[in-house]
Amino acid sequence: MRQYQRTKEPAVGKAVHPAIRWIWHQMNHQRASQEDVATRSGIASSTMRKWRQGVNSPKLADIEAVINVLGGRLVIRMGDDGIRTTDKKGS
């Protein structure tokens, strides 16, 4: 296991999905290295780096695997008009 080193979270201005931002926030909060999370989730560390850089978009199964390793749960809510996202107030 590689020693934890704080990783820079994706910049807000980049075209990076909020779930990817959550992943890096959680890794820093839990002091988990990118290599450790990648190994435990079965995703290549280089793939995760490309997500953070906004170079590649993750496959749903891959992002779910990483979120699960970090103790989260991916939930997709469907509405009559397709997939919706909600803010903290539920609107």
Residue 84: strand pairing partners: none
pLDDT digits (tens, 9 = 90+) for 61-84: 999 999 999 999 888 877 666 555
pLDDT digits (tens, 9 = 90+) for 79-90: 666 555 444 444
Q: What is the DSSP letter of 57?
A: P
Query: Between these two residues, 42 and 54, which has the higher pLDDT value?
Result: 42
- Return the CATH fold of 18-83: 434 Repressor (Amino-terminal Domain) (1.10.260)
* Distance separating alpha carbons of residues 69 and 84, to the nearest angstrom: 25
E strand intervals along the chain:
78-79, 82-83
**pLDDT > 70: what percent of the chain?**
70
Angle at which helices 45-53 and 60-69 pack, to 10 degrees? 100
